Structure 1
Amino acid sequence: MPRKRARDEAELDVSHLQQDEQRKDNPLQSRLRNMWQFASFMQYVFLFGKIVKIDESIDMDEFEDICLNPDRSSRLTDIGLALLKYVSSHRGLTPEIFDEYTRRQYLAKAPLRNPFGEEEEPNHFADFDVFTKVKVLHQLSTWTLGNAERIRAQMLEKDSEQTQWRIEPFGWDSEDRTYFLLDDDRLYRRTDALIPSTPVKAAKTKSKPKAKPRARGTRASKRIRLSENFDESEDDQDPPVQGTPADGEEQSDPAEDDFDGMKWECIAVTMDEYQDFLESIRRSRDRNEKSLHRSILESVIPILEKRAEAQRQKVLRQQREYENLQKLATAKRSSRLADKQERQREAEEAAIAEQKRRADLEMAHKEQRRQEQMEEVSKIA
């Protein structure tokens, strides 16, 4: 895989088609898939889910369905409880006290991100929107990694360097955006935050008279001075240092900046979405996009084809089972009809036989009476 190129090299290449078209999925699903916590948590489940006793039947598609289906939201509490049991030293944790003991973990380790509140009665996890629930599950999963030795000791495959826990970039595009392929076989893209240019101060000149110090500026004036090359003698107030708030500005909530300003997107899930993405970079002359195109064709498409074939076979198998059930139901119905007809035939035959028996008996009685009459006549004669 070629190395990441310089930005000036990327500008010489043909940029690929935009992949930001509106998805066919509903907005809730798209927003959920574009959460980095959502992808990170499911990668955690793939690696460590068995260790923390999360239901092994939960894969990415199942977890996504649980998140999007309100009727199944209780499963999220079960997952959170499994994580909390691994993090907390309290024994006997139950769903009834999940909110309280999860809040205690937040107050001790991440009070600024605490969604459970500080009132006597904690906010209920069941009342959170699905995005907050995913963030809580992701945070709990992160805390389980606080003791890596404990997890490493329980893993079947020993990895002393934890190299199997790392996710390396899968490729880059012409805009130097980074692509990742996680164990759910979904393609993700990370766009790094733009680095603001640092203003260059002009050199001091002795010939220029020293200006009178300016009054302390407002936040707006400071932002203006960041983009202009003022002489140091004209401004005795240094601009705010990158990464620190200016005077009078409030610090941003760490919960809102927990991805360092980067953007996370889910680019492709289905075969059709992969094909659309491949088509967008198929004619690119950018060497990174050529490598990305080749890597997807060689590493991802065969897996998706096998999965599609397995899914097709599963659908055919389910269809055959359904048809067999239909045939069995039809056969049972036909059998019931045949049994009914057989019973009717037997009843009719029995009725005819009974009628014949009675007729024969009547004839026998008549013949007997006739014989008796003839005997009486012969005696008289």
Structure 2
Amino acid sequence: MTENILKEREKAILRYVIHQFILNAMPVGSRLISKKYNLGLSSATIRNIMSDLEEMGYLDHPHTSAGRIPTDKGYRVYVDSLMDPPVLDREAKKIIDMNFETQFSDAEELLRITSYVLSELTNQLALVTYPKFDQAVLEKIQIVRLSSTRVLVVVSIRSGMVRTITLEINAESKEEHIELVQNYLNEKLCGLTFTEIKNSFEERMRDVNKDSLQPVIRVFIESVDKIFKDTSTDKALVTGTKNILKHPEFIDPSNIQTIIELIENQDIIIHILDNRRENDPNKVSVSIGGEINDEKLSEYSMITKEYSIGDVKGTLGIMGPKRMEYPKMIATIEYIAEQLSKELTQIG
């Protein structure tokens, strides 16, 4: 059964039930819908339609109440076709812009601010993964000779970001040797992703025949995983515990325990966020309840979007009770992801 089968009045009542439940966190009865909205339908008719929606799996009926609450299926129809268009209000936009006006010299500081602002504006748990370099494309390598046995390697990627690493060479090297190796590496590696470089580096270096270059080449072969390591794979920011715990859903202690476990185990967060990525990076991903594919999170929703600096991407989003203002959440995440991408490009 899909939302296309629902009649217009069934869609309207489902929409209003979800609106009221999001606002009040209380099961919604037919009398409230009848009084609140001018549908031209009696309370009895609305009650019958709500009963039909329950039979179709869009609403549920708690044993302790005469009212109904949305199911995962009901929320899904609401998000896909019934909710108001996502629009960011002027005040929220002003707060985001003000926080991003700061001149950031450090990407990590910018990500921390992003996570904080996202949580404060949504009152949910904010989740931000660090940029992932596995698909970063190498622009160029520069090797700076610090001494006869030490070099500084400057790795520039196509997005404009730069990373550096110092290497120790087990034999003395001359300036001309360093320059030759630098030229050779750029010729062989530019345009490849970090993953491609790590997987084929030694093979690509096999035709370096000059003995004088071997000590430098050897240290690159031994250090390739370090130089082209994706340092982001085990890093995420989780912010806003105090905000999410304000919701009435957390009267239940078991829900609090779930959030604490999530915060203490970032591997879970990173795994979930990685699996939430949309095929279309410009699209916001909304996962509701069971769609998250984690039994502990069956009472939550997660809204995420990729941010990017060229070929380098990360994910930001929120997690909270399914009873959330989806249009507001989606609009906030879209705008923050857009601003974060712009700021990271400037830092790079």
The structure richer in strand per residue is 2
TM-score (norm 1): 0.19
* Larger-Rg structure: 1
TM-score, normalised by the number of residues in structure 2: 0.20
